[in-house]
Amino acid sequence: MKRVLFSVLGAMAVFASGVTPSTAGDRYADRPPVMVSPDLSAPWVLQLGRAPGIVRQNRQVAQPTQPDRVQTAAVQAPAKRMVMRPQINPVYLPQEVAYDGPQKPGTIVIDTTQNFLFLVEKNGKARRYGVGTGKPGFEWSGTHKITNKREWPDWRPPAQMIKREAAKGRYLPTYLAGGIENPLGARALYLGTTEYRIHGTNQPWTIGGAVSSGCIRMRNEDVVDLYERVNVGTTVEVI
């Protein structure tokens, strides 16, 4: 009986001595993958994101088909077509300048050749702003008084302008409420009984050029500043 017991114990000892750490580890060499929820927004999943041995459920990414590539290109196209607007020349920013003209202080003088608006001040000085003026065929000169002032004015394009632009394939609204997209901008100063105005713009990069249909165009910041400095009845000379 003792011999049998010793034989069994001996066999167990031999078997145990034959199991090395490497062979023990081999039992788990091909561990089953840990399947993690595909919802990567869960905080605990984010914590496991870089843990070794983690296998996510949808690891392989299917190759896009040709229609998908076309759709991706269509989505990215607007970014490629982005238009970079030129910056305004600093010479057209507001500044105090010397002025020796004959006009009285408080008069507005608009030089349509240099594209400057001067608000005449005392002591031989003037406050100068850059402006956009009438494009070729729309130039004019004359003296008027400011007859009205409006904040964020609405816009009703003249019938002649609507017809003219329609011939070019550009269709204007008959009415556009005041706002940031309105071509008249933040303020408008109406000149006499004409359709001309000194007004802001939604295209500030055009300041300094001959770009309008006769109106005097200013940056919104500048027309707001001018608006606060002048009153109805102010004389405006366009030269």
pLDDT for 81-130, tens place per residue?
A: 666 677 889 999 999 999 999 999 999 999 999 999 999 999 999 999 99
Q: Is 131 helix (H, G, I), strand (E, B) or coil?
A: coil
Are 231 and 144 contacting, i.e. CB atoms less than 8 angstroms apart?
no
Are 190 and 148 contacting, i.e. CB atoms less than 8 angstroms apart?
yes
pLDDT digits (tens, 9 = 90+) for 123-176: 999 999 999 999 999 999 999 999 999 999 999 999 999 999 999 999 999 999
Which residue shows structure tokens 């507001």? Answer: 94
The span from the CA of 203 to the CA of 184, in Å, is 10
Query: Across-strand partners of 94?
Result: none
The span from the CA of 147 to the CA of 223, in Å, is 16
Query: Across-strand partners of 125?
Result: 98
Distance, C-alpha 52 to centroid of its chain = 44
- Percent of residues, the chain, with pLDDT higher than 70: 64
Distance, C-alpha 26 to centroid of its chain = 61
The span from the CA of 234 to the CA of 103, in Å, is 12
Q: What is the pLDDT of residue 83?
A: 63
Are 175 and 158 contacting, i.e. CB atoms less than 8 angstroms apart?
no
Are 208 and 114 contacting, i.e. CB atoms less than 8 angstroms apart?
no
- With a CB cutoff of 8 Å and minimum separation 6, the contacts of 166 are 172
Amino acid identity of residue 168, one-letter, is K
Mean pLDDT of 213-238: 98
Q: Is 20 helix (H, G, I), strand (E, B) or coil?
A: coil
| CATH architecture for segment(s) 90-238 | Beta Barrel (2.40)
Q: Is the pTM of this model over 0.95?
A: no
Task: Tell me which of 152 and 6 has the higher pLDDT.
Answer: 152
Above 60 in pLDDT, residue 49? no
Q: What is the pLDDT of residue 67?
A: 47
Mean pLDDT of 208-229: 97
Query: Residue 154 to residues 45, 185, 189, 200, 223: CA-CA distances in angstroms?
Result: 55, 9, 13, 12, 16
Which residue shows structure tokens 């632009």? Answer: 165
Q: What is the pLDDT of residue 87?
A: 84
Mean pLDDT score of the chain, rounded to an integer? 79
95-98 vs 235-238, strand pairing mode = unpaired
Domain ranges of the chain: 90-238
